[in-house]
Structure 1
Amino acid sequence: MTGDRRGDDAGGGLREAVSRRSSPWQALAAVAWSFFGVRRSVDHERDVTQLNPLHVIVAGLVAAALFVAALVLLVQWVVA
């Protein structure tokens, strides 16, 4: 079975994602820029190659939770 290559790269993408070197602060900055809606293509390409996807997911969830909490507090302040 020399033509069967399904098992050759099993888990390679996960190892690549885990071995990327970036700080959670860089992921938070990338998520903040994406919330704002402005991102240079050069910075986007750098983020794709350097950021750990797990950091981006966690930063996105934290930023979304903070955004929702801020909106709830703003509405409570306006209504009260």
Structure 2
Amino acid sequence: MQDEPTPQGGDLRQAVSRKGSFLGTLRAVAWSFFGVRKKSGYDQDVSQLNPVHVIIAGVLGAVLFVLVLVLLVQWIVASGVATGG
């Protein structure tokens, strides 16, 4: 019987076991929301960050972004600037 190639699950387990800090992950996700990142910083993030932390930070960042937009719109509408009066 021929050995079957192992699935890439081992790579995922290895990535999830990385010990990157959650604060570092938040910083990397914030830079990605801003859209500016050096290639060297990206390479460092890919090698150190835990994918689970990246997903959690991304969801938190998106929720925070939407919350800020909603509050900004409510503030503008309440100030009367949007209605012209």
Query: In the TM superposition, what is the alpha-carbon distance from 1:13 to its structure 2 partner?
Result: 1.8
Distance 1:68 1:10 in 2: 35
Residue 71 to residue 49, structure 1, CA distance change in 2 (3 Å)? same
Q: 1:5 corresponds to which letter in structure 2?
A: E
Aligned residue-pair number: 78
Distance 1:28 1:11 in 2: 25
Distance 1:37 1:51 in 2: 18
Query: In the TM superposition, what is the alpha-carbon distance from 1:15 to its structure 2 partner?
Result: 1.7
Distance 1:49 1:58 in 2: 18
Alignment of 1:16-31 (within 5 A): 16-31=14-29
Query: In the TM superposition, what is the alpha-carbon distance from 1:44 to its structure 2 partner?
Result: 0.1
The corresponding residue for 2:46 is 48
Q: Which ranges of structure 1 fall in alignment gaps of 5 or more residues?
A: none
TM-score by length of structure 2 reads: 0.83
> Identity percentage over the alignment?
59
Q: Which of 5, 12, 15 is matched with 1:14 structurally?
A: 12
The corresponding residue for 1:62 is 60
What stretches of structure 1 move > 2 A for 4+ residues in a row?
Answer: 8-11
Q: Which ranges of structure 2 fall in alignment gaps of 5 or more residues?
A: 79-85
Residue 55 to residue 78, structure 1, CA distance change in 2 (3 Å)? same
